[in-house]
Structure 1
Amino acid sequence: MKHLAWTALMLTGYATAEWKAANEQVTAAAKEPQIAAVLEAVNALDAALVKDNHAAFAAGLAKDLVVNNPQNGISISGATGRRNTAGLISYSSYIRSVEYAGMHGDMVLLMGDERVMPKGDSTLSGKEVRRRFTDLWKMEDGRWVLTVRQSTIVAP
């Protein structure tokens, strides 16, 4: 049934990005102003990915972003933004299940499970990919930006 849903998504050309709280702790945490603001930033970042809005995606990234990426490499100094602009980070769907949301000093830490559907020149294009993620967000120039990310493929 899940395969049929993904097939329908691909045939209609509908792109979607959303997150959901996986438990009551996350639901409660999402009411905290800083965490709520970061979850809005997550929505904007993920929507930029499915809409191929490279400028909006880059705007959600910290200047010093470091990513341990699903290709088992480290991306630093703008490499993630360049990979997005080159079409290597592009999805038709991005669904997150946030299992932890909390403050970590003055930053917000999110952890959980995500399901993406890569498209275009992306690795595994057209196949649902399940990943575990850890994201650390910080305030930079008056807005929340992704500063550290770890993402590991669990099952293609």
Structure 2
Amino acid sequence: MRPATRLIAAALATLAPLTVAAQLAPGVRMPPEIGAAYGRLGKAMMAHDAAGVRGVWAEDFIVNSPANRVLRREEVIAAMADDLLDYKDFHKHINAIDQKPEVTVVMGYDTMVPLKGPGAGRQVTRPFTDVWAKRDGRWQLIARQATIADAR
């Protein structure tokens, strides 16, 4: 396994108790700071740790959610607190990473089985685009698109 693949796999492994796997497309390199931020975010999401999520998501974070609704950071955190964001068999496939000095875009798709909400109980494919910005010397997720493309 390439070092970048090991890094993202290790970062995402913090999503336990999920079975998590991450794959980087050939030639794609995960910036270490972004990989670490994904790891912190996954751990916080699984623990339903709102403070941990706030530490990675920017105050002005916005997402086009799997339910095809645009949500702000606190709305997603409220859904997490209501136990609506649980998954099993989560796999992240990263197809492209475009890093600039102050913005990084990560694109790919996730496959998982949501336990609640859109696609509950079925494997879904969810293309995503994550936009990270470097603010005050640290990377924060400022925007995410993650709508369900296919449910089996």
User: Do the structures match in fold with TM over 0.5?
Assistant: yes
Task: Report the TM-score range of the alignment, normalised by the length of the smaller protein.
Answer: 0.7 to 0.9
User: Within 5 A, what are the aligned runs for 1:123-142?
Assistant: 123-142=118-137
User: Counterparts of 1:102 and 1:15 in 2: how far apart (Å)?
Assistant: 28
- Deviation sequence 1:115-144 (CA, Å, 0-9, x none): 12223x444333222110000012234432
Partner residue, 1:63 = 59
| Counterpart selection for 1:153 from 124, 129, 148 | 148
Partner residue, 1:43 = 39
- Deviation sequence 1:64-93 (CA, Å, 0-9, x none): 001111111111252121221111222234
Amino acid at match of 1:106: E
| Counterpart selection for 1:118 from 114, 119, 127 | 114
Query: How many residues are paired up?
Result: 136
| Counterpart selection for 1:22 from 9, 22, 25 | 25
User: Counterparts of 2:44 and 2:89 in 1: how far apart (Å)?
Assistant: 11
Partner residue, 1:95 = 91
Q: Do the aligned partners of 2:66 and 2:118 also contact (CA within 8 Å) in 1?
A: no
> Aligned in 2, Cα 1:46/1:16: closer, same or farther, shift over 3 Å?
farther
Partner residue, 1:7 = none
Taking every aligned residue pair, what percent have the same amino acid on both sides? 25
User: Counterparts of 1:82 and 1:55 in 2: how far apart (Å)?
Assistant: 12
User: Counterparts of 1:54 and 1:127 in 2: how far apart (Å)?
Assistant: 27
TM-score between both structures, scaled by the size of structure 2: 0.76
Structure 1: which 5+ runs fail to align?
1-12
- Deviation sequence 1:36-70 (CA, Å, 0-9, x none): 21122112212333344443233221100011111
User: Counterparts of 2:144 and 2:80 in 1: how far apart (Å)?
Assistant: 15
User: Counterparts of 1:117 and 1:87 in 2: how far apart (Å)?
Assistant: 15
Q: What is the DSSP-based 3-state SS (H/G/I as helix, E as strand, rest coil) of the residue aligned with 1:126? A: coil
Task: Please tell me the root mean square deviation across aligned C-alpha atoms, in Å.
Answer: 2.2
User: Within 5 A, what are the aligned runs for 1:76-95?
Assistant: 76-95=72-91
User: Counterparts of 2:49 and 2:88 in 1: how far apart (Å)?
Assistant: 12
